[in-house]
Chain A
Amino acid sequence: MTDQQRTGSSDDVIGHGDERKAGHASGEALLEVLGSADQHNASASDPIVQVRAPLSWRAELRRQWGRRRTLWAFGLLLALPLILVASFAFGDRNGNPNRANPSSRIFDLAQSGAANFSLVLVFLASELLLILLAALFCGDAVPSEASWSSLRYLLIAPVRRARLLTSKLIIGVASTLFATFLLPVWGLIVGGIAYGWDPLTNPLGDNLSWSQFLPRLALAMAYIFVTLLPIAAIAFWLGVRSDAPLGAVGGAVLVSIVFNILDQLDALEPYRHAFPGHYGRSWQDALAVSPDYSGMLHGSLWALVWTAAFTMLAYRRFRRVDILS
């Protein structure tokens, strides 16, 4: 590049002028290549082959990773334990532990060690933060491309529509998975440093040793991840339908809130079992001394049903939609 040595933040017109002075017309190099490429191209008309994996997972990951929203999301996730530690320290100074409230017992125990701290973190984050992240990672992937106008360029690259969705979905889900497991691991590390490496003093039952607690925690996180999938799928579907990135995220969170409200109604009794979120807290069963897996089994199955349904709707919609963005 002849203009590499140029410094400063001059705009393109000046840059162009420089080029002119250098006696180099832009595009010359391309035409030279064209000329040379001509020989091998003109004779043989290459067979048209389907590239096996356009928009590979790695390519999609690179597209998503550097984004500000991704960085913010993970930044928030990593900051949360630190904020908690700071808040607890603040509370201690004031010396006002509100022990009358039974739910505050969980928070009292948060400072008893890494395991408890991590558990409190999961407790807090699983209610909203993780849902929000799942909706963001999966709901934002397609409409953000649409809003940058880059969606059409991906499609004519060409990337098959189903392939595009698959890559987007897999990276979105993988990001969600990563966030789901990053949270307790980071919580363990922060909690361990701040409060020591004591095993779990269980607010939900009997105490668990590290060797009992870690697999249970992994199971609980896996279950939480599965229960996030319906929200992710709904966000994904909304994202395919709309070009507004935040519309998809907000819509999915709204759907989860509506289901939460409906879930409160006893009148819907047997049917509400199927709602996404009905078994949202069943992960706590995994931490009981004798874990009961039936709630988690039900929750997982229903979550997968919703996930499959909305994912299919998304594919169906995207397959036939006219890309006008």
Chain B
Amino acid sequence: MARSFVVVGLAATALVAPTMLASAPSSASVATPAVSHAAASHAAVSHATNSPVASRPDAVTLRPQADLPTPVAARLPVRAEPDGTRVSLDISFYGQPDGARHPLVLLAHGFGGTKDSVAGQAAELQQRGYVVATWSARGQGNSGGRIHLDDPNYEVNDAEVLVDLAAKRPDVELDGPGDPRFGVMGGSYGGALGLMLAGVDPRVDAVVSAITWNDLAQAFFPQSALAAPPKTAAGRDPIDVAGPFKQVWASTFFLSARGAGGGAGAGTGASIAPPPGATAPGATTAPARAATTTTTAATTAASCGRFDRALCRLFLKASDSGVASPELLTLLRAHSPKPSLSRVKAPTLLIQGIADSLFGLDQADATAAALDADGTPYAVRWSDGGHDAPSTHEAEETEASYAWLDHYVRDKAPRDSALPTAKFTFPIAATRAGQPSTLHALPAYPGLSGTTLQTQGVGFTQRQGGLVHPPGGLPASIIAVPGLAALGISLSTYQLAALPGQSTAFDTEPLTQARTVVGSPTMTMTITSDTPDVTLFGSVWRVTGSSITLANPLVAPLRLKVTPGQPTPVTLSLPGATYDLPSGSRLRVLLTSTESTFSNTREPGQIAVRAGGTLTLPVSQVDGAAAGTSGAPLVDTEVVLAASALGALLLLALGGFLVRRRLRRLLPSRPDLADIPLVVEGLVKTYSDGHRAVDDVSWRAEKGQVVGLLGPNGAGKTTTMRMVMGLISSDAGSVHVLGEPVSAGSAVLARVGALIEGPGFLPHLTGRANLEAYWAATGRAPEEAHFDEALDVAALGGAVDRPMKSYSHGMKQRLGIAQAMLGLPELLILDEPTNGLDPPQIAAMRPILRRYAETGRTVVVSSHMLAEVEMTCTHVVVMHAGRVVTQGLVADLVDSDDTTILDLPEDADAALVRDGVHALERHDGIHEVRVDTGSRLVVVGELSRVAVVQAAVAAGLPVVGVSSRRHLEEVFLGVISSASAIPGGEPDDENHSLVERLRQVRAR
């Protein structure tokens, strides 16, 4: 179950890995190996793939490949197995072709991996100028033999043989005969190998050892009960009782050594499955021999896969009993760097993960303490990754590793030179999930290099607690779920951890000042139990409001031999981590009797716990400046991208603004037209649908004129007016008001008042407020407006203070006219002003307009109420189909010398009239006689009016009135029909004109 968590965890972190815009390629390279490798080798080997310095197989493809030779594979015969089986390793050398000698790096892989898992890193080191040796460890990959878990006699000895071989290469730099200049680097399984190699082989010049163990016995049977209070940040000096068995991890090891079925073996050949051809002798004999022994041995052989038989048997026994046998403990201690650390002289970089339930911070702490005691140069770097989760600073950790090698191997820096990296670097998790942690550096590891560990005590609010151990060890609390942290799950798992009755919790007082915890908190307590063997699991939680979250998803197991009923004092070292504690925050220590990743005893028990006074926190002074690299710098790629996009947009806006201002100034004014209120010249407007609404229209309105703009619907009157006001742009031509060109929003429009296509008012304001709002929009002084006088024109009475919504159409129309007159503009443009007005109102409007013009101002009225225009206007412009058909004085248009209108009495005899008309038509000098109505004749001819009247009377027509005037309507219809006339039959023409007019109506 835990294993599947690991898989999920890795896949998920690959997805949520912090990918910023520009860093996408590099983060992909971080994430992909974790996924692909985990998938390929079934993720049981996650401790290998997660290593901060672990493999990056596809990094090769991401870098421009220099002209370096491809790795050369070879077989290296090494020490035979205990049963005499001959063993050869599958090795590769990444050589240097330039003929010079280069320093060497031994690159060791993690458990369950092969030499291919480190191929990417090997290529990187090769490009850095190293000769790189990689090999599949004994029992792994295509190498022969069995897994001895870094046995000094086998795996470590193999590495020595490899060094001997490398010393013979012509491209490897030598310190002396058979002594190459080299460093050894690896994570987890490979990390311990490096430390152990340095412990037995003085030729090693530098070690980079990541997420590995100091004491394998302590790793698999962790004991957090302390023999002495810690002197270092994560120091854990355990009592001499083996802790509970870390069952889940042990099983994971075994499963990966078995090859995890066919899936992995077929795909990569990375782990186990059928031994390949080269190792055929050893591999085939072993099962054969196993088969001949007892049935239990056969089971063992099947379960052990490629594990060494002796080692395997001990592990299976421990799995069965949950208790460590002395033989196993001895063996595990021997397979650890711890015994040989005093002989390590090579400068060593230790990288250890906080998110590591397999090899905790205490392991690296113990190694560092041993190196410090012997004066060996070392640096410690804590990572927020580990076997449980990927690091958020993998690139920095790899870079620090390379810098370490460069410094001590390539550059041959003396041992007392300054370290190439800070002596202690640690991360503090970001406040939000998915963000990289911030890195901080200290000049010394707390408690080492002559410093003393700083601590802060926080009192517990309650001291007494009790819990039971369930019979059968179930249900088990779930606290340290490997991989859960990697999922970025922030929800509280407290309910799963603190099973009722099986746990007890001790809360601290709130912190009085903010602190940064760096390392393992400790607490003392007294335990009383009714069984001689007590196991407890401690974990640290943060209590904020009602939410309780794990400070670090790890447990610290404690196993004690006690006298039943007798209180036993003990000091517990809680899981190590780094976190900020703001002032006022509380911690909670949770003690549970079971934990799901451990082998829990089946015997029931009852335990009483009395906590000591305080929780002791290892603290550190952290100021932001201490860190060379900040985890989340305020200015990152995304900020740069967004800021530059914003800057570009603003520049564009500024540029556009300047260009437009320049263009606006270029419009010329026409001083010669300064005295003419309105001049329209050659206006053309074609709408986007292709309809040419206005086509070369030119006219002008002089001072004192009332100009009528006439035309049928769709003639282009309104379009012209909109262009005059700058509401729509013209395709060609110009409009000048008082000599100034008109474009959108021209200042000269302040001299113009207009009512165009009906009034427009804010419905929520009153009539008066609307006029005031409009005037306020002009930005001119209120006293220029003459509100009262304009409202008087509108004649709204009391309605002026009612909201607009209640107004009738006519009232709005009159208010619209009043609005146009605000400020007494020199040019008043009214589009259909009589719309919605009743006859008395129209009559009242007539003198106003005329007298308005008489003051030297100008009025332009568009209308199709011809009688109205005739009575109001002095001048008229007739438009049809977008063109000006005729224009001039109204008097000129309606007056006509060649036309005489004869009025007949209403009751005139029809026959008499008909005869008279015929007679008139035959008269010389008369071209046409038209019967307009029964009582009205229009006579056109070149005769004088007197002669016409005489002729009519002579023809017997009963003339009662004579006039010279036509009505404007006749003129209008006459010009319209002649303008739209097309040569051809009369009916056709009429049809055509109808169609034409319909089209125009549609278009506008």
Q: Which residues of A does B touch, CB under 8 Å? A: 1, 3-4, 6-8, 10-13, 15-16, 18-20, 25-35, 37-38, 41-42, 45, 48-56, 58-60, 62-63, 66-68, 102, 105, 109, 145, 148-161, 163-164, 201-203, 205-207, 266, 269-271, 273-274, 285, 288-295, 297-298, 301-302, 304-305, 308-309, 312, 315-316, 319-320, 322-324
Contact = CB atoms under 8 A, between A and B. Distances in A.
Contacts of A274: 642
15 contacts: A11-B808, A30-B789, A30-B792, A31-B848, A33-B786, A53-B779, A150-B761, A152-B757, A205-B545, A207-B545, A273-B20, A297-B634, A298-B638, A312-B649, A322-B729
Interface residues of B, number: 103
Contacts of A7: 798
Interface stretch (B2-10, B167-175, B740-748): B740-748
Contact of A16 (B432, B821, B840): B840
A320 B745 CA distance: 12
B325 interface: no
B811 A27 contact: no
Most-contacted residue by chain B among A30, A55, A290, A295 (CB, 10 A): A30
A185 B656 CA distance: 40
B227 interface: no
Interface string B791-834: 11111111100000000101100100001010010100000000
B435 A290 contact: no
A210 B793 CA distance: 61
Interface of B: 15, 19-21, 24, 430-432, 435, 491, 544-547, 580, 582, 584-585, 632, 634, 636, 638-639, 642-643, 645-646, 649-650, 652-653, 656, 660, 674-675, 722, 725-729, 738, 740, 744-752, 754, 756-765, 773-774, 776-780, 786, 788-799, 808, 810-811, 814, 819, 821, 824, 826, 838, 840-841, 844-845, 847-848, 851-852, 855-857
B861 to A, nearest CB: 15
A20 B838 CA distance: 14
B778 A3 contact: no
A286 B774 CA distance: 45
Contacts of A290: 431, 580, 582
Contacts of A288: 431-432
Contacts of A292: 430-432, 435, 632
Given A63-B762, A150-B762, A292-B632, A158 B750 contact: yes
Nearest to A42: B856
B779 A54 contact: yes
A301 B840 CA distance: 64
A308 B776 contact: no
A63 B642 contact: no
Contact of B851 (A31, A67, A207): A31
A153 B775 CA distance: 10
B745 A305 contact: no
Given A35-B855, A269-B19, A285 B431 contact: yes
Nearest to A51: B779
Most-contacted residue by chain A among B760, B786, B814 (CB, 10 A): B760
Contacts of B788: 1, 29
Most-contacted residue by chain A among B431, B675, B780, B856 (CB, 10 A): B431
A48 B844 contact: no
A150 B750 contact: no
Contacts of A13: 810, 838
A194 to B, nearest CB: 21
B19 A270 contact: yes
Given A1-B788, A54-B777, A153-B760, A26 B793 contact: yes
Given A30-B786, A202-B545, 20 more contacts: A6-B797, A10-B797, A19-B795, A26-B794, A29-B789, A29-B792, A31-B852, A37-B855, A38-B855, A45-B674, A51-B750, A54-B779, A55-B776, A60-B777, A153-B819, A157-B749, A292-B431, A308-B650, A308-B653, A324-B722
Most-contacted residue by chain B among A145, A150, A304 (CB, 10 A): A150
Contacts of B643: 301
Given A38-B855, A55-B777, A322 B728 contact: yes
A273 B639 CA distance: 11
Contact of B774 (A6, A38, A153, A201): A153
B744 A155 contact: yes
A285 B744 CA distance: 47
B851 A34 contact: yes
Contacts of A148: 760-763
Given A27-B792, A158-B745, A150 B21 contact: no
Contacts of A269: 19, 24
A71 B578 CA distance: 53
B634 A34 contact: no
Contacts of A45: 674-675, 738
Contacts of B545: 109, 201-203, 205-207
B776 A149 contact: no
A159 B634 CA distance: 43
Nearest to B742: A158
Nearest to A15: B797
Nearest to B675: A45
Contacts of A31: 848, 851-852
B778 A51 contact: yes
A162 B821 CA distance: 26
B649 A309 contact: yes
A51 B643 CA distance: 36
Contacts of A16: 795, 838, 840-841, 844
Contact of B824 (A6, A33, A48, A207): A33
